[in-house]
Chain A
Amino acid sequence: MKRPIFFRRPGPWFLALALLALLLLPGIAMAETMKVTQPNQSLYPDPDFAGTPVVPVPVGAEVTVLQQSGDWYQVEYQGQSGWLNRQAFPAPAAGSKFNLPGLLTGAPVKETSSDEVALAGKGFTPEVESSYKQKHPEAKYAEVDQVEAQQVAAAKLQAFITEGGLKP
């Protein structure tokens, strides 16, 4: 009796199944720890910037990633669960060593700051700004720093929005 075709040639089927598993398994990813490297980040109740931030997440904070949805990561930080945008993590460094997920997704990889070649490769950086400042002492950077220091606390903004009958 002739065996069905996939029993006759198990090799290709086995190979196809293995490839399928390779593509699907990371989707059911286990918890992973990532370090926040970008300033001005907060945990949000939903994957949406319009919500009220749960808690600010400082640079250097380690978060446990539970799942990813588009540009958002559901994470645990200091016992609180919330959503962190992918911009909390560094942009991929050009010329970094081979990295499978990075190659596919542009996922965060660590940057090198000491290497001059890498520095030039990053484009406009604080170092470029520093040299520009030396060339342009008339530029009012101290005042820009003052403008940037102006913050509106999340609770104060909420009170302002509520008082004005605006949309939360």
Chain B
Amino acid sequence: MRSHLRRLAILLLVALPGLWGCAVATGFLPSAVQPAASIAATGATKAAQASREISDSEEYYVGRAVAARILSTYPLYRNPAVTEYVNEVGQTVARKSPRPNTYKGYHFAVLDSDEINAFACPGGTIFITRGLLATCASEDELAAVLAHEVTHVVDKDGINSISKARWTEVWTSMGAEAARQYGGVAGNLVNLFEGSIDDVFKALVVNGYSRSAEYAADAGSVKISTAAGYDPGALARVLAKIQAKEKPGAGGFYKTHPPANERLAKVKGAAPGVAPPAAEVTRTQRFQKIVKT
């Protein structure tokens, strides 16, 4: 018995360099035990696959399709100076968010519509309408709006609106997928992709996210704005303007978001207004110069 153990130990020591080589070939061993989901994701069974979450690249392709659909409804506002400026403000807040780097990064664009609205597509493409841009009176208010949308991307609110049943079907259908071809690609998967786009589009444009998701995005906006150096009270100011413009029975943004007065009450509690610092004046001036001219 003892000699068996000794032999086994010697064998392990001899095999150690080989096993180590295998370990460093593709990565490093963990400093802590990984969660079960992560282990399942690397397993070989379809059952394990079903337990994995959508990957960043899959989120990106869903986001692209949602953006393509939004752009078939709202035309792009083609003003290079404004687009560049909105991207600069957007990137300034995105880099201070809890998810600063998505699969292909954040991109911001303006939609040529008087409607007051903004959309965060999964993966990081964010739209703001010309109407909402015009409602903002300063860069800090624009930053607050964009930080709210960035938080929807951080929290994956868009991708989480894909129905659980559909998502389960995506994973359970994959085993038999190769047998059913459609245009060179697994056909059922294309249908499931299509359905997923419908789910996200409906949440973004028609029904809106849950109230709790919107309040969380407001709270996230205040945090990001603070981290980026913007006035955390700016969100409350822009919400007050949005509230003032609300008409009875208004659709769009007013239908997909909780009442501005309720949001305002929560946000004011989180970020009481402060006197604008000198730098805010500089920011407002550049905002006025680019957006309001």
Please list the residues of chain A having a beta carbon within 8 angstroms of any beta carbon in chain B. Answer: 9-12, 14-15, 17-19, 21-23, 25-27, 29-30, 32, 38-40, 49-50, 68, 70, 85, 87, 91-92, 94-96, 99-109, 116-117, 119-121, 123-132, 134-136, 138-141, 143-144, 146-148, 150-152, 156-157, 160-161, 163-167
Contact = CB atoms under 8 A, between A and B. Distances in A.
Contacts of A157: 88, 91-92, 95
B167 to A, nearest CB: 10
Nearest to B126: A147
B34 A101 contact: no
Interface residues of B, number: 96
B23 A26 contact: yes
Interface of B: 1-6, 8-10, 12-13, 16, 19-20, 22-31, 34, 38-39, 41-44, 48-49, 52, 54-58, 61-62, 64-65, 67-69, 71-72, 76, 83-84, 87-88, 91-92, 95-96, 100-101, 103-105, 107-109, 125, 139, 170-171, 174, 177-178, 181-187, 189-190, 193-194, 196-197, 227-230, 277-280, 282-283, 286
17 contacts: A11-B4, A26-B23, A26-B28, A38-B103, A99-B26, A101-B22, A101-B23, A101-B28, A116-B186, A124-B57, A148-B104, A148-B107, A150-B83, A152-B88, A161-B229, A164-B229, A165-B280
Contacts of B177: 117, 120-121
Contacts of B109: 147, 150
A17 B190 CA distance: 53
Of A15, A132, A147, A165, which is in contact with the most chain B CB atoms at under 10 Å from its CB? A147
Contacts of B193: 124, 128-129, 132
